[in-house]
Chains A and B, each alone.
Chain A
Amino acid sequence: MATTLPSIACLGVIGRNNNPLHISIFNSYDPSTTSFRPIRTPLQFSLLLSSTLDVFELRSRAHAATGTGLTGDFGLLHAVDERLAAYGFETNTGVKFVVVVDMRGRRASTTSGVVGEAEGKRSNAAGGGTTAGVGLREGEMRVVFKAMQAAYIRLMQNPFYDPDEHSPVSGPGKKITSRRFGEDMRRIGEGWVPGVASL
């Protein structure tokens, strides 16, 4: 069991009108074929992201009633099965970031690049990291959301990005096409390991 570690399987950005803005899907390690490929199809990920929207709404209502949750971090939204879990974050403007974590998405014996550097921290996290939902410590996702928010802010600062086109009141709107934003998402999704300090 300790031969696998959590990794990010999918990053989703959802607009204020619950319209999809961006979806990045990442490879997971498949021990049966010792290869890397996405654990689900794009359609399944898309459905998974949609299903988190109800949780977002319920939570934000609960937050409004109790006056809590001002950090925007919604924590664990949805533990899909023993491997997949969805974590959420909502900005005050209603933009939602969803991180789908695959609890066994990364091979622990890989010693290259980012993976190797965080060796010490990883073995700690791996100890309890086998059951979905409880394997990650509270706030473990904060660094991911921070990085996603930073990338989103950078996108918004681009004068040629029109927020209205992307989240119109009616209709589905455009998706994010920025290459830089896509690269940022890729860097975040591939660079994250439990315990990493910054992305």
Chain B
Amino acid sequence: MRRRPGIQGIQRTAQARDHFKALGKDVAATRLEHMQAQMASFKENLEEFALKHREDIRKDPAFRAQFHTMCANIGVDPLASNKGVWAQVLGFGDFYYELGVQIVEACLATRPLNGGLMEMKPLMRFVNRRRGSKAEPITEDDVIRAIDKLKVLGGGFSIMKVGQQMLVRSVPGELNTDKNEVLRLAQGRGFISKKQLIEENKWQEARVVETLWSLLKEGIAMADDQGPGGQRLYWFPCLEASGATQAEVL
């Protein structure tokens, strides 16, 4: 059969295209509707759950941690927006924002004394004291979450692990491995001597001297020239001291 003249063919193709487009839109709209409905019911359920367990979430740190894990598993961040349902339902955003502010306060107040490094335990003591005895108890998990939220402010807040301890750092930058190692070895006692470092790590003296001096300059270490035999001890205000100032210096 001879082909029809072109113009009609073109019109027909265009018609078909429009038709498909309309149909596609319909499908997309239905899917969107469906998804919206699903989201709504999901949100409703989650809200219902949160409301039902509101007290538990606020009061019980372990439950709170589990709630966070659950939310993370389904890809929801209850802290993502302070304006969202969570702030209204739980007053939850506020909880972490408040905690964040208290952490910042603690770090700033002690920064001149510890060079911007603080152990988790003293930090939590500081924050708990600030919150008063009537406030709900907080856990390490809460502190870590709150600090995570502080990161968006770009204030250089971060958590670092030294040995078994977690240290909260409130000044930008990083400790190199040598400094990290010095802090690790000083843990427990709260101080270390040059001799100890040379013996423990088999480092060259120059390396030890350089690392210690750099820690002094950053305000992380303080010098004490009245150690046994008049040797210089290096103290780290960010580490809790055992109280032994004379004993067991190698």
**Binding partners A and B:** no
* B residues whose Cβ falls under 8 Å from a Cβ of A: none
* A residues whose Cβ falls under 8 Å from a Cβ of B: none
